[in-house]
Amino acid sequence: MTGRPFVVAIDGPAASGKGTLARRLADHLGCPHLDTGLLYRAVARTMLDQGLELTDARAAAAAAASLSPDDLDPSRLRGGDMGEAASVVSVLEPVRDALLAFQRRFAAQPGGAVLDGRDIGTVVCPDAAVKLYVTASPEERARRRFREVAAAGERTSYEAVLDDIRRRDERDAGRAAAPMRAAPDARHLDTTELDAEAAFSAARDLVDAARARRPG
């Protein structure tokens, strides 16, 4: 292998399909995957477990700085309310700063890596070999997320999920610190009309083309 590790940066709004895509691309490339949303969810979880206000920047930054792999167990972090709580703590710049070094170390592994989140192509890995910005209509994302949470036994409605998605999109895109947005050199992938297989196939072609262009 020559030069820099091959990094794939995947960003996009809630339930756009970026997580599934990121996992499958990491399998395809034989490299590790980091779902960076779990880091923000874990900070929120720690705050709530300790009875702290999610807006307490100092405590949240301390929680972010002391996260351990045990805190990243998805089963405690996946609920819809945790997505909302993660979005609230992720507005805080000290929290983002505290999580940056970990994400960059992950991306620097010699065998390359796939990271997904909101600011991977813009802030965490601006030099990534491939950047994807994955979207879908809010209604389609709400349908997917509703199916997912209902299957997991959570009691909610499609309307409540759509509201949550809209509120989160607005907060994530509107914040001052590392807002959710596509990097200028990101490829856009709208999955509204694509199933997981078709989305993967389109993304895999982009990744394979980028690998083929690499020197050496």
Q: Does 121 bind ligand CDP (CB under 6 A)?
A: no
Comparing C-alpha atoms, which of 40, 41, 22 is closest to residue 31?
Answer: 22
Is 46 near ligand CDP (CB under 6 A)?
A: no
Does 144 engage in binding with ligand CDP (CB under 6 A)?
A: no
**Residue 33 interacts with ligand CDP (CB under 6 A): yes or no:** no
The 8-class DSSP code of residue 186 comes to: P
Nearer to ligand CDP, 40 or 200 (CB): 40
Which residue number has the CB closest to ligand CDP? 37
Shortest CA distance to 122 belongs to which of 4, 1, 7, 11? Answer: 11
Q: Is 90 in the site for ligand CDP (CB under 6 A)?
A: yes
d(CA 125, CA 127): 5
* In 46-129, beta strands by DSSP E: 113-117
Q: Which of 37, 112, 121, 138 binds ligand CDP (CB under 6 A)?
A: 37
Chosen residue from 46, 87, 135, 191 binding ligand CDP by CB under 6 A: 87
**CB of 212: closest distance to ligand CDP in angstroms?**
28
Nearer to ligand CDP, 63 or 86 (CB): 86
Tokens describing residue 174: 């509107």
- Closest to 97 measured CA to CA, from 42, 57, 136: 57
Sheet containing strand 130-135, strands side by side:
33-35, 113-117, 7-11, 130-135, 187-190
17 scored as a contact of ligand CDP (CB under 6 A): no
Chain centre distance of CA 82: 14
Question: In this complex, which beta carbon is closest to ligand CDP, that of residue 13 or of residue 112?
Answer: 13
Q: Which stretch binds ligand CDP (CB under 6 A): 62-70, 83-91, 130-138, 199-207?
A: 83-91
- Taking CB under 6 A as the rule, does residue 14 contact ligand CDP? yes
Does 141 bind ligand CDP (CB under 6 A)? Our answer is no
**Whether 168 contacts 46, CB under 8 Å:** no
Cβ contact 142:15 at 8 Å: yes
Residues at the contact surface with ligand CDP, assessed by CB under 6 A: 14-15, 19, 36-37, 40-41, 83, 86-87, 90, 117-119, 168, 172
